[in-house]
Structure formats: C-alpha cells, structure tokens
Structure 1
Amino acid sequence: MHINDLNNKWIKKGQEVSDLNDKLNKMVMNDSFNEDDYKKTTENRNNAKSQRDALKSQLDEARENDKPSGNTEGKSNDDGKPHKVNDKNKVNFVDKFKGMLRGDPKVVDEVTSVTDPSSPDNSSLGLTVPSDDQKQINQLTRQYDALDQYVNVENVGTSKGSRIYEKMSAIKPLNNLSQENIKIPSMDDPEVNRIEYTIQRFGGISSLTNTVMADSADNLMQYINNWIAKKDVITRNNEILKVIGTAPKKSGINSFDDVKRTIETAVDPAIVNTSTIFTNQSGFTALATVKDANGNYLVQNNVTNPAQKEIDGKPICVISDRWLQDNGGAHPFIYGDLKQGITLFDRQQMTLNSTNDGAGGFESDTTKVKVIDRFDVELTDFDAFTVDSFTDLPDQGTKNTTSNSKAD
C-alpha cells in the first residue's frame, strides 16, 4: 500500500475512534443507559483503536523504508549534526524559514521577491508553504471535522473569476419526435446561475519559542502543519456554515416521520443518492434516541462501517455544537448534496510571515509567525440542500407534546 494511502487510512481511522469515544461519553450521560449497547460500542471503539495503531505502525515503517541512506547533500543543522530528513525541498524550506526568522541577510534578500500581498505596503517577507506540505495539511484537516470535504472544492489560480452553474431543477425533457415528417422544434435554453468569486484572505498568528526553533526539520514542519491544519479547519468551517446559514429556513420536522419525509422529498430525486444529513451533537443525540413502536432505535448502523450512522441509507455527519449551534433550543437539520450547492474556491497560496519585533515579539522574546490562507466560499444552488430544525422528537406511536421551535 502507498504511503499516502496508509496515511489517509490512519487519519480516517483516528476520526472513527474519536467519534466512538464521543458516542460512549453520550451513552454514559444518558438516563436510558443500555449496557449491551455500551459494551458493543466499546468493542467497536477498541477494534478501531487497534487498527488505528496498527496503521500508524505500518505508516512509520513505510516512511522509514522510503528514506535513502546517508546524509542529504551533506547539509547539517545549526548544531553541526546531519539533518535526519531526506526530503530536499522540506530541508531547504526549513533552512530558509529559520533564516527568515533570524533575519539572515542572505535569506531575507532571497525571499524579498516573495512578498506578502496581504501586507498594506507589500513589504512583509514571507515564504510560500511547499505543495507537499500543503497536501499533508489537507490530510491533517480530516481529523478535525473538516466540512470542505462535503462541498465542491475548485483550485483556482486567480484572485477573481466567475463560473456558470446550471440549475438542476430547471432541466426540461426533449421534445417528442414520433411523427416522421415533424419539424424539430427549438428547445429551451439552459437556465444558469453566474457565480462570481473573489478570493478572501484569512490569517492567524502563533508564537514560536527557541525550543521549537531548535527542533529538527521534521519536528518543526510537523508543528507548523498541525497548527495550520487546526486554524484552517476552523476558518473554512466557519465560512461554509455562513453560506449554509443564508439558505431559507423551514420548520417542518416535528416527528421522525417528518425526517423521513424530508429525506424523500426535500431535494431533487437526481441527487438523493448523493445526499447527506448534517446536524450537531445535540441534534444527533435527539435523533439517535428515537425508537419505533417495538422499542428499536430508528437511527441505523452502516452495514460495512458500524461507526457510520444513517437514516434510510443516508449518512449522518455530526458537527460539533461549537461550530453548528442550536437556535432557540432547536437543533439544526441540513440535508442534501453540498457539493452541488456550495463551492469553495481555493487559491492554494498559503504563506508564512514572521517578526521578532512586532506583535509583542520583542517584549516576550519570541518570534511571531503569521499564516495567510486564501479562498472564497460561494453558494451555487439553493435547491441542492434544505435547512430545517427540530426539537427532541417523540418515539413512533406516541404524540408529540412539544411544539417545534422555529429557527429565525
């Protein structure tokens, strides 16, 4: 198996372990605690954890075997010891990064041409994050409930642009030509939306201590990549949820039957098979505790992946309450194909800038590092998903005595 495949599998399994741990925490807090369900979920968690650890072991071994023997072009760290990293681009980037932080004149002269366009006077020096590390950052983001995996992501090379999207609901059938001598009539033109994007700049600042700076190239890049990944997920999730929040709100879910009715009728049948249910932790807890008349839970396990929950075969994506919040006691219920409805235009031009004088660096004797990411999120089709809300739903066969709270 390829190293990237092992890495992706390890990250995905780590997320599964995290999801199962969250589920166990909810179980022990639930008044209707079921020991058998708890034991089964614990077993699934333990199995997933063992597989995750095994994948990590295989990944480490594969990375070790992939390293060529000997030093990389005889380069050495500041302490005179050889680099332990064989990736020439990574070592070169880390050397320049450290040189930039320390104000090395040679490095400063070299990166002068890589000025940060986000700086008002275009004078803030910066290094563009290598493409290989950007790929690793993208992989790391999957551990942090990244929503951009559910929307359409288009890599762009310009700061502004436009795209044409055809409306799925506006497509009409061709004319019937059953008569041999009939003149072929004109057909309707496609109804399209013209979407314009303008790349926005998003940034954050971190403080690097001398201890971090003294780390090996591998450790330093891992620190930077993890930090960027966390910041990037939070930022992109926030922008995606802002776009989702602009959709018209409905208030038609008062029972589990309404949930099933929404699944079948809320979006075009052409995208039902690619649609997903999105809710927050509180909403999932409410859905997962609803039972039918025989006492069976109505949320099911995926046959091939028990950690994945679904309703009528539609996967449920659970988003942290921190990012997708309740509204007046009503839980969010988003359903549809977000890849059809939302596009994230990714500039893929992430840069790092530094200073040890400004941003409090001089007073604290630290080096401040700023990351700038560039992207834009645009709505492409409201008909591809629906936004609704619900309160705690009654078991099937019982009447709902609580009125549903409507989202503003």
Structure 2
Amino acid sequence: MEDNVNTLTIARDKAGKRVDELDKKRSDMAVKLAEDPHAFSNEEIKKMSDDYNAAVEAREFAEDALKTAQNNLKTPAKGPVPVPGNKKSGKEVTAEFVSNFKDMVTSGKLPNGTAITGDGSNAGLTIPDDVQTQIHRLSREFDALEPLVTVENVSTRDGSRVYEKLSDITPLQDLDDEKAQIGDIDDPVLTLIKYSIHRYAGIQTATNTLLADTAENILAWLEQWAARKDVVTRNLKIIEALGKATKKPTIEKFDDIKDLQLATLDPAIIATSSFITNQSGFAVLAKVKDEKGDYLMQPSVTNPEIYQIGGKTVRMFSDKYLPDISGSHPLYFGDLKQGITLYDRQQMSVTPTTIGGGAFETDTTKIRYIDRFDVQQIDDGAYAIGSFKDIADQKVTVAVGGSDTKSAGK
C-alpha cells in the first residue's frame, strides 16, 4: 500500500509539473497575442487550451487517487503483539466490535466491565480500522471538505511540525566558477505549527429494535450516521481554519474575480489553485457574463460536468456544508492542501446507553460518537477568501466611429 502511495505521489508531481509547463507556455502565447493578434492560428490556440485543460484534469485525477490511497493507510493501533496463529481477520474484528456494541447496550457495561455512568468519563468502544475506513469512504458522499486539505495521520495527542512556506523559499547560489567556494545561503523562514488533538462528540437516538437487527444492518446504520457526523464536524473546523486567511477581498464585479485569480496569490500557488463556493454562490457565478456576453464560468472541454473560471476548476458544495459568511456567499481561491492540514488521531469510539440522557424515559438507546482530530492553518498565503452577494457583468465595449466607448454593466 505504501508503494502505491509513493507511485501516486510521483504521478501527481509529474502531472503538476506538466500543468506548470503548459501554464507558462499559455502565458507566453497570451503576451504574444496581445502584441500581435495573428501570432497564432485558431487551431494552435485551441490546442493549447485543450492541452492545458487536459493536464489540469490529469493532475486533479492523480490528486484524488493519491488522497484515496493515503486515506487507506491507517496508523496501526498500539497494543499487545499478536501471537502467531491467533491473528484475527478483518471480518472477525468487525463481528467482535458489533457483538461488543450490542453487549454494552444490554449489560450497561464497557467490554472491560466498567459500568457506563453517562457522565462522559468513559472512553467507549474503539471503532476498528476497517470500520473507520468505511466511515471515511462514506464521508466523501456528503460534500466533505477534507479531501481538499492535507490529512496527516498522527499517533500522539500533541505534537508540532516545522514548515517552510512556498513563497519564502530562496534560490540556490549561481556559481560561475567551477572552483568557487559554496557559501552559506539565507536561513530558511520556517514556521512552527503545533497541533493538539481535540475530542468532538455527538449523541444519536436509536430505537431499541435496532439491536434486534442483523449485525450487518447495525454496522451499516452506525457507519452512515458516523459518516454524517464526521463530515459536519470536520467541515466546521476546516472552515474555521480557512477563516484565518489574511487576504479577504470583496467581490462586486466581474473584474474582481479576475483579480482574485490572477493578482492575489503567488504565481507558484496559482498553478495548483481552484475555486470553491457553495450552491447559492455557484448560482450567482453561473450568470456572470464578460464583455462579449459569454458566461464567465464555462464547462470543461474534457468534462462538461466540471465548470471552470479562467481554466481553474470551480468546486460547489451544499449551503448546508459550506454556509454563507455574514450573509455573503464565500469564494475561496487557492491550494488548500498547502494552506490547511488536518491531524487525524484515528481513535473513533462509540458508547451506547439505555439509561442516561433521557433514554430510560423514552425506551430508546442513546449512542455517543467521539472523533479525535485537530485542524491547523499552515500557510495563510496559499489561499484567499472572497465574499459576494451580487456580481455585476463586465462592462461592454462598443466600437463607435473608430473609437471605443464603454456602456454600463448589464
């Protein structure tokens, strides 16, 4: 599995390099076309656009494949070394988990014999890796922001990492003499990021008839419910980290979006950036037109279901999972994998009770779910947050008597 991650990392990097190369060629063409509109034929321009869009799609496909492979790599739980010949299979571990889950409800005790008091002091039953993996897979069906950021699996509650921002990297010295002594370079500008794993918990109410169902149905119900809770909780913390961005332009007209894309971030970040907005914001962006009357947001040539602005993908999330900001629609632009890291402790747990939390009075089962993770901003220069309500179209330029006059925006 680790070999597969390494291979996909190399593929992602190659795809990213290809996008960078084509982006530079496209920029050179744009400069030449500005000087001479006939410098390139329509076929050459279309081919460059097609090549660039295809390279972007290939890079994003490689990133998604790498993300999936990384999610499947789970930090092994610490515990006794298994005795050869007695190692349990994944199905056996899952079956034991469901059995323990049912026993906790009927007996009111944890597997170690400790009584469930309902005061929140008990850790609960740890969810096995196979079930956690399935929960993470299901999470992707509910507009999860997690795939857009970097996820690092950690085995300690607290820790720290040292990062060098892309914009702060200094070049190596140019030695024109083969015998020249290599001198010291500027010390890199490093940032120390500390993480501290938090517990995030929620309680679900289930009817007692659930426990009479099959083990498979009980497990499927728990996975679906935990996945929804997981997405809502992690999205909230990712959005909180995103809110720490220092660049927060207000968008009112067509050109403000172009400024957000082209003049806000470092060029090296722009090459791997994309737009993110919610459904309400997407509906507004879909109606904005340029000076020619064409829509600002266009479907990708290679995949009409994917929309782009200036060659950059626009990702849409439900308003429920990516809400408005103070009444305005959000428009994030940047590379969130460089800007945000989620530290995953991978110690999900559940604790059921038929006594506490009002379960006894209603003859139901209360199930507490706990997830453990932390989210930190790594590079505030890797993305920007724009906000808007309505966006004016680009002003139309009309040629009159050999001169250009501008009319008001539509």
Q: Same fold (TM over 0.5)?
A: yes
> For 1:153, which of 151, 154, 174 is the aligned residue?
151
Aligned positions of 1:286-325 closer than 5 A: 286-325=284-323
Structure 2 counterpart of 1:89: 93
Match of 1:17 in 2: none
2:392 to 376, 391, 394: 394
TM-score between the two structures when normalised by the length of structure 2: 0.70
CA distance in 2, matches of 1:113, 1:168: 51
8 Å CA contact 1:111, 1:127 repeated in 2: no
Matches within 5 A, 1:13-24: none
Deviation at 1:321, TM superposition (A): 2.5
Name the aligned partner's letter for residue 190 of structure 1: P
Q: CA deviation at 1:111?
A: 3.2
**Aligned residue for 1:205?**
203
Amino acid aligned to 2:105: L
Is structure 2 residue 260 aligned with structure 1 residue 256?
A: no
The structural deviation recorded for 1:264 is 2.1
Structure 1 residue matching 2:173: 3-state secondary structure: coil
How many residues are aligned here?
311
- 295-304 or 351-360, which moves further after superposition? 295-304
CA distance 1:263–1:221, change in 2 (3 Å): same
- AA in 1 matched with 2:107: G
AA aligned to 1:306 is P
Instruction: Report the Cα distance in structure 2 between the residues aligned to 1:217 and 1:296, rounded to whole angstroms.
Output: 55
1:218 alignment counterpart: 216
Return closer, same or farther for 1:237/1:328 CA change in 2, 3 Å cut-off: closer
What secondary structure does 1:274 align onto? coil
Give the Å deviation of 1:327: 4.0
Which residues in structure 2 correspond to 1:103-252 (within 5 Å)?
A: 103=107, 108=109, 110-112=111-113, 122=121, 124=122, 126-252=124-250
Matched ranges for 1:41-56 at <5 A:
none
Change (3 A) 1:226 1:364: same
What's 1:99 paired with?
A: 103
**Counterpart Cα distance in 2 of 1:325 and 1:94:** 36
Equivalent position to 1:360, from 358, 361, 364: 358
The answer to whether 1:271 aligns with 2:306 is no
Which residue of 1 is the match for residue 27 of structure 2? none
Q: Partner amino acid for 2:225? A: W
Inter-partner Cα distance in structure 2 for 1:221 and 1:91:
9
SS of equivalent to 1:218: helix
Q: What is the SS of the residue equivalent to 1:318?
A: strand
Query: Following the alignment from structure 1 to structure 2, what is the Cα–Cα distance between the partners of residues 115 and 375?
Result: 24
Q: Find the residue that maps to 2:183 and give its secondary structure.
A: coil
Query: The residue matched to 1:111 in structure 2 has which SS?
Result: coil
Long gaps (5+) in structure 1: 1-85, 403-408
Counterpart of 2:140 in 1: which secondary structure? helix
Amino acid at match of 2:127: V
Gaps in structure 2 of 5+ consecutive residues: 1-89, 397-406
Give yes or no for contact 2:208–2:364 (8 Å, CA) kept in 1: yes
Q: Show CA shifts across 1:363-402 (max 9, x none).
A: 1111211010000000110011111223322222346779
Secondary structure of the residue aligned to 2:257 is helix
SS of structure 2 residue aligned to 1:186:
coil
* CA distance 1:223–1:194, shift in 2 (3 Å): same
Corresponding position of 1:29? none
Q: Residues of 2 paired with 1:401 and 1:313: CA distance?
A: 24
Residue equivalent to 1:65? none
Name which of 376, 382, 385 aligns with 1:384. Answer: 382
* Structure 2 residue 348 is the aligned partner of structure 1 residue 350: yes
Q: Please state how far the C-alpha of 1:259 moved relative to its aligned partner.
A: 1.4
Matched residues in 2 for 1:168 and 1:295: separation? 38
Say if 1:210 and 1:291 are closer, same or farther in 2 by CA, change over 3 A: same
Matched-pair contact (CA < 8 Å) for 1:197–1:378: yes
Residue identity matched to 2:91:
D
Helix, strand or coil for the counterpart of 1:334? Answer: strand
What CA RMSD, in Å, does the superposition of the two structures yield over aligned residues?
Answer: 2.5
CA distance in 1, matches of 2:408, 2:235: 34
Please give the residue correspondences for 1:329-344 in structure 2 after superposition, counting only pairs within 5 Å. Answer: 329-344=327-342
In structure 2, C-alpha distance between the alignment counterparts of 1:354 and 1:134, rounded to whole Å: 18
Q: How high is the TM-score relative to the length of structure 1?
A: 0.71
Is the 2:203–2:367 contact (alpha carbons within 8 Å) kept by the matching residues of 1?
yes
Q: 1:174 to 1:99 in 2, by over 3 A?
A: same
